[in-house]
Structures are given as C-alpha cells and as structure tokens.
Amino acid sequence: MGGGPDARLLAAVVASVVFGASAYAAIGAALASYSPGPLALLRMLVASAALAVYAAISGMRMPEVRDLPSVVLAGLFAFALYNVALNYGQLTASAGAASLIVASIPIFTALLAAAFLRERLDALGWSGIAVGFLGVALISVGEGGGFGLNAGALLVLLAAFPQASTSPSRSPISKSTGRSPSPPTPYGRGRCCCSPSSPA
C-alpha cells in the first residue's frame, strides 16, 4: 500500500517515450536510403517479427473470428496507411514538425468517438480540439516557409487520421471480449497491405 511505481511499468513507459520520440528522426534518416513504401514495409516486417516472438513466449490469445473485420481495418488504416503517409510526409516535413502533427491523433479520436460511439464532448473538450487544430495549422504553415502550406505536413496530418480511427473500432471488441485485438495480427495485416512496395 502506497508503494513506489512498478519497475516494469516504469521501464515500459520510458521505453515507449524514447522509441516513440526517436521514430521520427529515424524515419528521416532512413528516407535517405529507402523510398517511403519499402520503408513502411520494412518497419512492418521488423515489428511483426518482434511481436510474433513476444506472442509465442507470452501465450497471447489471438482474436476471435468475429473480431477479424476490425483487425483487418486496423492493419489497413493504423499501420499501412499511417506509415506510408507519414513516410511520404517526412520527405519534406521535418522530424520535429511531424512528431507534433502526429500528436493531433487524440483530436481525431475524440471526434470519431463522438460521431460513431456517441461519446459527448463538453465545452472544454471542444475548446481543446479547436486549440489543437490551431496548433497543427500553425505548424503546417511554418513548415511551408511563410504563409504557404507544406505538402509534407499535410500528408503527416493525413497519417494521423487513420491512426486515430483504430481506437473507436477497438472499443466494441474491448467491451464484448474484455480485450483489444492482439497486436501482432493487425501488424501482419499492415505488412500484407505494404507488400506491393517490396523491391522486385
């Protein structure tokens, strides 16, 4: 009772922050050697392999058959479209700007949840969404060098939308089964969607 934070939880949080923050700089560096499509496929292959090993070791349960449509949509939108659009966006948008624009994902999540799950937003929530969109607009304009819009920044913003769409799609599964779709499965679907980008 009243003990310190769990060491494993703390390590997981630190790892998430470090890897998440470094991803955009790593993408920018990798784009010097890979085109956006193959880079997205490479990321999916590495993530799928790592998660497959974890799933095998931990005995992770796979989704039920009734969950497969949501899993396929998560693979298409949250992994394939997100990574491809983000990679193309970072051809011209800086890593810093990309990370800040991707942080708009909770804004889209809130809007989608209000539209499809009938979750209510109060005045404070709508004010936060307005401020968030204003910040994204300022970053996009700044990346354009003046008052012009940077196409790469808009692509990164486009990437944020499909990523946000997965939270509302997972909610019905979580309510009916008490769990979210197993991570390796949507990663596998995303890998399949990115496979046309593989080198000949």
Between CA 43 and CA 41 the distance in angstroms is 5
pLDDT for residue 123 is more than 80? yes
What's the mean per-residue pLDDT of the chain? 77
Q: What is the DSSP letter of 189?
A: H
pLDDT for residue 51 is more than 50? yes
pLDDT band for position 177 (cuts 50, 70, 90): very low
pLDDT for residue 60 is more than 80? no
What sections of the chain are H helices per DSSP? 7-30, 36-58, 68-74, 82-89, 95-102, 105-116, 123-143, 151-164, 166-177, 184-194
Which range, 40-44, 112-116, 165-169, is most confident?
Answer: 40-44
Locate the domains of the chain by residue range: 9-197
Between CA 78 and CA 15 the distance in angstroms is 21
Q: What mean pLDDT is predicted for residues 93-120?
A: 85
pLDDT band for position 178 (cuts 50, 70, 90): very low
pLDDT for residue 187 is more than 50? no
